[in-house]
Structure 1
Amino acid sequence: MSKKLLAVTLGILTAVGGFVDIGDLVESGVVGARYGMAMVWVTVLGVLGICVYADMSGRIVAVSGRPVFDLIRERLGPRMAMLNLAGSFLITLLTVCAEIGGVAIVIELASGVDRLVWVLPIGVLIWLVVWRVGFERMETGFGLGGLAIGVFAVAVFFLHPDWSSLGAQVAGFAPPPDQALPTYAYHAVALFASAMTPYEVFFFSSGGVEEGWTVKDLSVQRANVLLGFPLGGLLAVAVMACAATVLFPAGVDVSQVSQIVLPVTLALGTAGLVIVLIGIFAATFGAALETGLSSGYMLAQYFGWDWGKRRAPRKAARFHLTVGAGLLIAVLVVQTGLDPVGLTEISLIFSAVALPLTYLPVLIVANDREYLGKHANGRFSNTVGVAMLVVIAVAALVAIPLMIFTGAGQ
C-alpha cells in the first residue's frame, strides 16, 4: 500500500512539475499582462483536454503494454501514422528549441552572462542526463524541482491584489475594451496549445512502458492524471494572476522572461527570485528532457526500433542517436540567437495546427476493443473526448490565419 501511495504521490508531483514548461510560463505571463484573468477559461479547457487524452493514453499502455504511437501505426496504417509522425515530430523538435532557450534565459538571469554562451553546455548536459540518469530519478528530480514555481501562488497573496477585480476579470470571458478581438483569439489559441502540446501524451504513454505499467496500475495512472495536471494548471493560473496584478494595470506588454518573474521579486524580494529561477530552470530543463526523449520515442515506435532509457545505447543505438541528433539540431537553432520568447510563441501556434494529428488517432485507438477490451472508452470519455476534438479542430483551423492577421499577436 505504501509503495502504491508513493507511486501516486511522485507521479502527481512530476505531473505538476512537468505541466508548466516554457510555453505555459510565457503564454500565461503574456495573457495575464495583456488581458488580466480573462483567459482563465482557456487554461481550464486545456487542462480538461489534456486530462482526457492523457488518461486514454495511459489506459492504452496499461492494458496493451504497448505505447500509443506503436498502436496508431498498426491500427491506422503506415501512411496515416506517417502524417501523424511528421506533424508531431516537427512540433516536438521546435518545442525542444524553445525549452533549451528557456533554460539558457534562466541561467542568464542568474549569472548575467549572455544566454548564447550557455546553449551548447545545456545541450550536452541534457544529453548526459538522458544517457546516464534513470527514468524515475530523472522524472522525480526535475518534477519536484519544478514545484518551486509554486512561489507564484505565494507571491499573489503578498501582492495584495484587488480580489474582486480579479474575479470580475475571470467572469468576463472577453478582452478589455482597448484590445482587439482577433488578437485575443490568437492568444487564446496559443494558451490552449500550451496545455495540449503534442509531446505530452507521447511522453506519458512511453513513460508508462518504461515504468512497466499493467492493468493493476490503472488507478495509479488515473490519479496522476486527474490530480497532477489540474494542479499544474493552477500553477499556470498563478503565473497569470501575478502578471494580472502587477503588469496588467501598468500596461506592460511582456516580451521577456524577466518581466514574468518581476511580480515574484516585488512580492518576495531576492529570496523569491532565487526560488522562482530554480523552479523555472527545473521545469524547462525537465521539459527539454521530455521533448528530447519524445522525438526519439516517436521515430523508434513508428519504425519498430528498440527504444527506451532502460536499454543501453549499444542495444538501442538508433533511438539514442535520434535523441542526440534532435538535441544537436535544437542547439544549433537556438545558437543562432533567435528570441526564445518569440520562438515559444511560434512553437505554440504550430502545436495548435498539429493537435488533430496527435489526438484523433489516440481517440480512435482508445475505442478499439480489440486492444483494450472492457477498458475501451466509455460514453463519458467519448463525449468529452469528441467535444475536445471539436475545440482542437477549431484551434488548428484558425491558428495560422490568426497569426498572419494579427502579426503573431502584436
Structure 2
Amino acid sequence: MKKFLGITLGILTAIGGFVDIGDLVANALVGSRFGMSLAWVVVLGVLGICVFAEMSGRIAAVSGRAVFDLVRERLGPKAGLANLGASFFILGLTVAAEIGGAALALELATGVNYLLWVPGVAFVAWLVMWRVKFETIERVFGLGGLALVVFVVALWQLGPDWGQLWQQAARPAPPEGEAVPTYFYYAIALLGGAMTPYEVFFFSSGGVEEKWTRSDLSVSRANVFIGFPLGGLLSLAIAACAATVFLPVHVQVDSLDQMVLPVALGVGQIGLALVILGVFAATFGATLEVALSSGYCLSQYFGWQWGKFVRPREAARFHATILVVMIVATALILTTIDPIMVTEYSLVFSAAALPLTYLPVLMIANDRDYMRDKVNGRLSNTLGTIFMILLVVVSIAAIPLMLATKAGQ
C-alpha cells in the first residue's frame, strides 16, 4: 500500500510539476500565433524528457548518488566546471522567471501590482525550502498545479473545430505569413521548455532525498512514463485553447491574463479561480524546484553536504547558495524587467545548453562502475543517442535564430 501511494502521489506530482512558467508562456504564445502546427515539438520534448529522466532516476536508485554528484568525477574538473557554469546561469534566470510568474498569478487574483508581491513570494519560497520537508514540498505544490487540468475542460467547453486543430497539428510547417526561421525559433523555445535542465537535476536529487533503491525503480518509472506525458497533455491543451480563441482574430498572447482568458470564456469564474490557483501552485512549486536545483548542482560538484534530509546547519553552504540565488533572482525581477521576456530568454538559453545537461546523464547511465547490471539497454541508448544529435543541432541553432529573428518578433 505504501509503494502504491508513493507511485500515485509521484505521478500526480509529475503532472502538476511539469507545467511551469516556461511551458505556460511558450505554449500559449505558440498556440495563438502558430495554432497547433508545433504540437510535434511538445510530443518530441515529452519523449526526450522521459528518456533522460528515466536514466537520471535509475542512476539515483542504483548508485545512491545524484547526477551532478557524478559529473565532476566522470567528466573531469574542467568539463564539469563548464557544465556547472552554464547550468547555474540558466537556473538563476529560471528562478527569476518562476518568481515573476507566481507574482503575476497573485496580481491576477488581487489586482495588486506584481512587483509588490515579488519580495513576499521570494521570502516565503526561501522559508519553505529552509523549513518544510522535501516530500511535503514536492506533493503539496505539485498537486496544487493539477488545477491546470481546467485547461482541458475549458477546451472542451469552447467547442473548437477539432478537425481544424488536427489539420494544424498534422501539418508541421509555418502557417501562411510566418517565416521559417521564426517557426523554428519557437520550436526551439518549446523544446527548451519541455526539457528544462532543472527537471533532471531535481528528479535525480529528489530520488536521493527520498532514499530510492533498486526496489524503487518501479516508482521512478511510473513517475516518468505516466506523469510527464500527462503533463505534456496539459501543455497541448493550453496551446489548443490559445489557438481556438486567439488565432482566428490574429491576437498574439504576450501576458498572463491573456493566457488564462480562454478558461474564463469556457468555464467561467470558477474556472478562472482554478486556473489562477494552478498557475500559482505550478510557478511557486517550480520556484522551489529550480532554487533547490541550484543548491544541488553547486554542492554536488564541490562535494559539499547537501539536501533537505540533513539539518540546515549541517548543509550550510547548500542553503547559503539557495539564499543567494533567491536574492539575485528577486533583484532581477525588481528591476521591472518583464518576467515573460525573462522566461522566453531562459527557454532559449536552456535549449542552447541542453547537450551539456544530458550528455553526462547518457554517459553515466552506460557506466558499469556506477550502474552494474542496470546500464542502459539498446532502446535507451538508441533514443538517447538520437536525442543527443538533435540537441547538439538545437544548441548550435538557438542563439543565431534568436538574433536573426529578434527573439521571434
- CA shift, 1:102, in A, is 0.3
Aligned mates of 1:113, 1:202 — CA distance in 2: 34
Matched, 1:270 2:263: no
- CA shift, 1:214, in A, is 0.3
- CA shift, 1:254, in A, is 1.2
Matches within 5 A, 1:1-12: 2-12=1-11
TM-score, normalization by structure 1: 0.99
1:241-287: CA deviation from partner (whole Å, max 9, x where unpaired): 10011011110111101111110011111111100000000000000
- CA shift, 1:312, in A, is 1.4
Structure 1 match to 2:338: 339
- CA shift, 1:147, in A, is 0.4
Amino acid at match of 2:178: Q
1:340-371: CA deviation from partner (whole Å, max 9, x where unpaired): 11110000000011111100111111110111
Amino acid at match of 1:290: E
SS of structure 1 residue aligned to 2:310: coil
Matched, 1:143 2:105: no
SS of structure 2 residue aligned to 1:197: coil
1:175-212: CA deviation from partner (whole Å, max 9, x where unpaired): 21111111101000000000111111000000000000
Aligned mates of 1:300, 1:103 — CA distance in 2: 27
- CA shift, 1:11, in A, is 0.5
Matches within 5 A, 1:6-85: 6-85=5-84
Amino acid at match of 1:100: I
CA RMSD of aligned residues (A): 0.6
Matched, 1:95 2:94: yes
- CA shift, 1:387, in A, is 0.5
Aligned mates of 2:92, 2:11 — CA distance in 1: 26
Aligned mates of 1:266, 1:355 — CA distance in 2: 37
Unaligned stretches of 5+ in structure 1? none
SS of structure 2 residue aligned to 1:137: helix
1:138-185: CA deviation from partner (whole Å, max 9, x where unpaired): 110001000000000000010000011011011011121111111101
Aligned mates of 1:283, 1:289 — CA distance in 2: 10
SS of structure 2 residue aligned to 1:161: coil
What percentage of aligned pairs have identical amino acids?
Answer: 60
Aligned mates of 2:102, 2:299 — CA distance in 1: 27
Structure 1 match to 2:170: 171
Aligned mates of 1:313, 1:306 — CA distance in 2: 10
Structure 1 match to 2:355: 356
Aligned mates of 2:297, 2:74 — CA distance in 1: 16
Amino acid at match of 1:403: M
SS of structure 1 residue aligned to 2:314: coil
Structure 2 match to 1:154: 153
Aligned mates of 2:36, 2:91 — CA distance in 1: 29
Matches within 5 A, 1:306-385: 306-385=305-384
Structure 2 match to 1:236: 235
Q: How many pairs align?
A: 409
Aligned mates of 1:404, 1:68 — CA distance in 2: 32
Amino acid at match of 1:152: F
Aligned mates of 2:256, 2:185 — CA distance in 1: 20
- CA shift, 1:80, in A, is 1.1
Amino acid at match of 1:33: S
Aligned mates of 1:277, 1:362 — CA distance in 2: 35
Unaligned stretches of 5+ in structure 2? none
